[in-house]
Structure 1
Amino acid sequence: MSSNPDTADTMPTESAEEQGNIAIIGRQAIVDERRAVFGYELFDRSTAHDAHTAASDAALLFNALSYADTETLVGRKLVFINCTHDSLAGGHLELIHPDKVVLEVPTLHDKATAEDIASRLPTFEALRQRGFRLAFDQRALMPPYVSWLQHATFIKLDMAAFRPELCAPLVKHVRLHAPKAQIVAEKVETAEQHERMSQLGVKLFQGYWFAKPSIVKAQTIRPSQATIIQLINLVRKQATTAEIENLLKKDPTLSFNLLRFINSSGFGLSCEITSFRHAVMILGLKKLFRWAALLLTTSRKDGSPPAVGQTAVVRGRLMELLAAELLPPEECDNAFVVGVFSMLDTMLGVPMERALESVALPESVIEALLHNKGVFAPFLELTRACESGDDAAFARTADALHLSNHQINMAHMNALIWAESLNADE
């Protein structure tokens, strides 16, 4: 569970300098008796060490459901995550839809007392009340841990940890003391091991015999810590939704990450959220604080956003100001999104079509970004012409939108001043 030798030879690690903004997440399938995928156990492979802490637990789950493409990573399958006992009380679990996640809980250290073991029961009960499922390994079958077994949804039996003749007694023991728990035979490496456990009625398996661990790499864009701290401060002082939305509009990396997270499969919403205001309202201040705090722990420490982010903010504001001359207020918000996300391919280093797969946006926004069509396309073209000094494109799009040179130049100047003021705020 908390350590998995199956992954040792197949999970290459890289230094922080080599990775840049790459989240590297290992996964190994858990299959049923028909060899169909039942779920995936995830492993953090973004660091060169195997330190397993409450912080690393939170970061793994957060990265898996925020930065990585969850459909590629786990689809609609269960996610099995190794946890420390400290992380079971972590606020990051408040952000996750419990139906999606199985928490793999280790036993305590060898010197744990009966009181230490019993003290964990209220936490288990609270997690189960919230809908989480818990998995324990065979060490929880030892007599001191019998009280834990009432909370088990899964018991994982490590085939490398006991002799073959103990398979039947262990399976019998699980069914006696944890009759509602499903057994997972893990580290299954041979046909004989699989056959032996199958004959004992075990229906879930994990190990080399079925699937070696694979890795999923996801390009990430992470806001500056200064911006995240601004968000945290707004939340702490109970700022209005409008104030928080205004900050999100200032930083394309912050807004991108929020929309991608809230629409991930782990959040469990039945509809897509496409506006910053809606995202803030859905999350609420408490969860927004949790999200920002976790984002802070995984963000870069090198100060202000890159130049591409600055350009994207200017585009967003300019498009918003130009749209305000011609379109209703709700469409001005979408115009801002088009401008900000028009450089998403550059930020992520992937084609725009692929970049847009990981964030929910209105169809009119996607039409402009992918196909240069729709109501926002001429505004985006005009904005680019302002940047590049393309006089022909400027004249053509200004004429098509019936906007005067004075209107456009004033809007451009105001957008530049606004973007500069954001840097001054930091």
Structure 2
Amino acid sequence: MPDVYISRQPLVNRQSKIIATRLTLHFDDGASTKDAAKTLDALTEFWPLGEKLVFISCGNAPCDAELLDWQIPENATIEVDSASFVEPEAAILIDALKAANASLCLVFDTQAKAALSSGVSFRFIAFDAQRFSPAQLKSFAAQTQPYGIGVAINVRDSQGFQDCLDAGVNAAASWFFKHPTKAPAKALSPGQAQIVRVLNLVRKNADIKEIEAALKQDVALSYKLLRYINSAGFGLSCEVQSFRHAVTILGYNKLNKWLSLLLATASKDPMAPALMHTALTRARLMEVLAQGLVDRQEYDNLFITGAFSMLDALLGVDMDKVLESMSLPEPICDALLGNGGVYGPFLDLAKSSEGEDGKELAEQVGMLGLSADQFNRAQMQALAFADTMEL
């Protein structure tokens, strides 16, 4: 079966939270929507179930009836181009959409009238932010309000995101928040520096009393740490009640992995929830992809690399400034500073999974000797993990 690779974008709402994920299908040479349906069907076991919706886009390929030939999860929404409703085989698609009874999103264009009058019900109407001016977007969003909830796609930057919200859409698919607009700070804040001190103590296997004393200087840190450890994503069979209890159950190495997440929570950025979700997805994706490719004891370090890969955006400090005060293994620092190393290819693939270049994504997957199926499954597992964490 020809390969289909899946990349992702978050759908961010007015409260700067990720409320859905938009998956884009990238078709390798010879791949069809029938292959895409088989690819999606193979992900059933790993599908991220829960409150967050998952939009499915065929990218540059047209959506046809064959895409619907899979067990569509309840939280999935299929994107359909308006142009598909004026194609010669439009009647077949319309019948298939009605029969599937799935949540649908119409990608709006000048031919949308045919789609809106087809008798097919749409839950969402998506507007390509690169095709319409803010004024046009505002007009179209108002006109289509009775037909579905307005969302935007292909938003490039923070100004574009704000323009879409001002035009009346409810959320936008974009990575604009990965690129801070403020100038980076020269050093960590006192709160951030305190977390680094605790992290360094854990990495040095300091006495539990010493680490507990450092944590007690900021009660919020202890609370956040226990909340993370007790999240569904961690999968413990009992509730961890204290830091000492956590050390007993997890050991220092595992605890370091989870304590690392605290540094990201020190962000005051209004986009922190979206950044944290992205960091967690990268962390889990890298950890899963590495299984069988590196020594088991390195899995946690790959998780930490992914979790720390957004620190410059989260903390508003250049990455080199963040790392100079931390006692991290050289492979983690190399990857975070763009110097390659053992973990570099895993981080590069995690970043490519957030892009729109299907060829680059396929190349990065191939460089690690992985199949499209292995990568797609890992991505679904990572999304499901990030969704279960209490941010």
Q: TM-score, normalised by structure 1?
A: 0.37
Higher relative contact order (CA 8 A, sep 6+): 2
